[in-house]
Amino acid sequence: MRTDMRTVPFTALLIAAAMSASGCSGEIENAPNEVEQTNGTVAAVLSGRGELSILSEAMTESGLASVFDGPGAYTVLAPEDAAFDALGDRSAALMEKNQRPVLVALLRDHILPGQFDATSVRADIRRKGGPVQMRTLGDTMLSFAIEDGELTVSGERARARVIADEAVIASNGVVLPVDALLELPPGE
């Protein structure tokens, strides 16, 4: 965990990050029909999706759920339950109070400032002629690419497939389900 990130309140990080450029256009292009749109918040979307129940619990345990219930513009790369299950016992350990800083850091590495749906990210990749990089609120650089026709996102130590047909555009952001954790807790 980066010690300099512990001293800055998370809300301040969200505000600062949302105001900074992120490397992607930020414009949400016309989303394909399979993308759901809702008036609910990102927090409501996470809590209402069975395949995102562990992430929803993690957001609540870390205190981040309330941030995603208010105004803002965020893109959450939402690991499905199977991604957490792949951690085995380490997944349950992340929910313990003494692991809260680790959990918060892990979650911040799955949050982008601004709203980006899969269609707009694909368009940016095509415009650029290759991968597009974006920095998370955890200060991790992620790289989006199209591999075998699928949108993928990679961190320093992990790669995930974006499950675009399960994406939801909420009132204050976008939830893009992914099939793996992008960063792993220490010891993984």
Does residue 5 form part of some domain? no
Query: In this structure, is residue 158 part of a structural domain?
Result: yes
How far apart CA 103 and CA 120 sit, in angstroms, is 29
pTM flag (> 0.95): no
- 162's enclosing H/E stretch is none
- Is 59's pLDDT higher than 90? yes
Q: 188 in a domain, yes or no? A: no
Q: What is the pLDDT of residue 92?
A: 87
Residue 67, domain member (yes or no) = yes
Residue 20 lies in a domain: no
Domain that holds residue 99: 35-178
Total structural domains in the chain? 1
Q: CA-CA distances (angstroms) from residue 91 to 37, 69, 82, 125, 136?
A: 30, 24, 11, 33, 21
Determine what percent of the chain is predicted with pLDDT higher than 90. 53
24 falls within a domain: no
Q: What is the CA radius of gyration of the chain?
A: 15
What CATH number is associated with residue 144? 2.30.180.10
62, 103 contact by CB (below 8 A) = yes
Residue 14 lies inside a defined structural domain of this protein: no
Least confidently predicted of 35-49, 63-77, 89-103: 35-49
